[in-house]
Amino acid sequence: MEAVIKVGGSLAKSLSLKKLCKVLERISKNHKYMIVPGGGEFADVVRDLDKRFHISATISHKMAILAMDQYGLFLSDLMNAFVTSKLREPRPFPKKPVIFLPSRHMFEKNPLPNSWDVTSDSIATYVACKLGVKKLILIKDVDGIYSFDPKKNSNAKLIKKISAKKLLVWNKKTCVDKFLPKILLKSKIRCYIVNGKCPERVEEALEDRLSIGTIID
């Protein structure tokens, strides 16, 4: 397997998700990868319930993981993909995307802290580690990590490359979760952040020729 690709849930707020899914279908003919779904609006419901009812960390973590399963099923319908809950599932359908539904494995192993600091970003990284792949692509609704919040600061600049070590101590909110640099530091995975609204960049990342985005080493 060549890479793990996480498809962010925020992309479901845009019709560009359909175009992205078509591209993922197409490039599966030439690239082997496993898709890890984000949580999207399903996870937002859990966050809202947690704010109102102060759910325990363990239960909110599990509910958010189930949100990933739901988004994964949704994606499978958009791109005609094979769905699996096994990390090392063989590819029974050649040239067809494989989407990993994480709840079964994550509930059984519980390998990551039960916290909102751990989202589908870190879970996708964990999956990449388990599969032994060296490339992780996080598809977001932004171009990558910025020096400042680009929505609040017009002078924000896209950071094309950053180390996991620097990201760990960088006390700024970014488009990735807080736990991600910790798990990257323990691996030899190269992480690419790309904008799903420009789906051609996913193929660029798979071929190590990313034009616009952020690389975390």
pLDDT digits (tens, 9 = 90+) for 105-143: 999 999 999 999 999 999 999 999 999 999 999 999 999
The CATH number that applies at residue 67 is: 3.40.1160.10
Residue 154: band (very low, low, confident or very high) from pLDDT cuts 50, 70, 90: confident
Read out DSSP for 169-199?
Answer: H--S--SS-TTHHHHHHTS--EEEEEETTST
Whether 92 shows a pLDDT value over 60: the answer reads no
Amino acid at 209: R
Quote the pTM value: 0.96
- The answer to whether the beta carbons of residues 69 and 7 sit under 8 Å apart is no
Average pLDDT, the chain: 95
What domain count does the chain have? 1
Distance CA 198, CA 20 (A): 8
44-55: average pLDDT: 98
Confidence at residue 1, expressed as pLDDT on a 0 to 100 scale = 65
Domain enclosing residue 102, as ranges: 3-216
Whether 208 shows a pLDDT value over 90: the answer reads yes
| First CA to last CA distance, the chain | 20
Distance CA 192, CA 189 (A): 10
Confidence at residue 50, expressed as pLDDT on a 0 to 100 scale = 97
